[in-house]
Structure 1
């Protein structure tokens, strides 16, 4: 079953649309890739029943977008531009989870930049924030390329100990004013 959701955002190579039930198998497969989830839960596999009950409602909710390659329709993963304070878009969290097969091709940066731009130009966002483990250098680089600035390193209690977690997590953020000063809009 293919999705027919209208696009939320399109870039030269990406189409982002709301996640839906048709994405269930792809979402489960993505979450069961130990490399993809290495910095999230140490790559622990998720049971489909657990995924359906716990993760799927969040991914079907406001602010999560299935990512497809525009020219082929290939499903690449998902992006998050989720409001942190309902009902508005004043502060949003940026995130992404893509198949390893497409890492290193610039999709994460392209999608993140486009979402930041949409947040500040169309959604009335005042602040975009993103977080990852300190040791997740690839994700940190995407945040930086999207224009987000390092805010802090912090320690958070997680249910699982993951290699590198002793170095903590990092927060990156960008305000509308900072974005305006660094871009031509």
Structure 2
């Protein structure tokens, strides 16, 4: 389900996008939050996302600038679990050179429209490590509301490596008509 915004061409990620995912995750600032990927890992991630589109009708898009064709990032929706319950999560990754240009917000907003219009979703969540203020600001620009702290594997400010019990800020968007 390809989507277009004012500036972006967003194509469902498939195996043909593995090299672009690999390139995106080679950016040190991206890799800090979204993990670096080897070429083999990028192929596996692209295949998993493609399968999500095929089986669940939803997953991430690869995003390109409509005017230039330049790779901007990736983002969209996927199913995950929070507190043992399945939830639809919105997320994004944008190349560091393009941070501050509104692309993450644009990807997130289109993802929420897709969730409401195409999927009929009533609620979507987003979460990030509590110290990831840039992603939290995007969530707030999208109208998402902080609901609580959750724990999952991730980064802890001032500590090296991934920790099993890192604090994450959980946000939610109520997509029901008239909500918000």
TM range (shorter): 0.7 to 0.9
Cα distance, 1:80 vs. partner?
2.1
TM-score (norm 2): 0.79
The C-alpha deviation readout for 1:64-96, integer Å capped at 9, x for no partner, is 1111111122121111212459xxxx9521001
The C-alpha deviation readout for 1:2-60, integer Å capped at 9, x for no partner, is xxxxx62111111111112332222112112221121344xxx432223334x232232
Counterpart of 1:58 (choices 45, 48, 51) is: 48
CA contact (8 A) 1:113 1:147 kept: no
Larger strand proportion of the pair: 2
Unpaired runs of 5+ in structure 2?
A: 54-58
Structure 2 CA distance for aligned equivalents of residues 40 and 50 of structure 1? 13
Cα distance, 1:161 vs. partner?
6.5
Distance 1:58 1:161, change over 3 A: farther
Partner of 2:29: 35
Describe the SS at the equivalent of 2:108.
Answer: helix
Unpaired runs of 5+ in structure 1?
A: 1-6
Calculate the aligned-residue CA RMSD, in Å.
2.6
TM-score (norm 1): 0.77
Structure 1 CA distance for aligned equivalents of residues 139 and 32 of structure 2? 18
Partner of 1:14: 8
Using CA pairs below 8 Å that are at least 6 residues apart, which structure has the higher relative contact order?
A: 1
Structure 1 CA distance for aligned equivalents of residues 169 and 79 of structure 2? 19
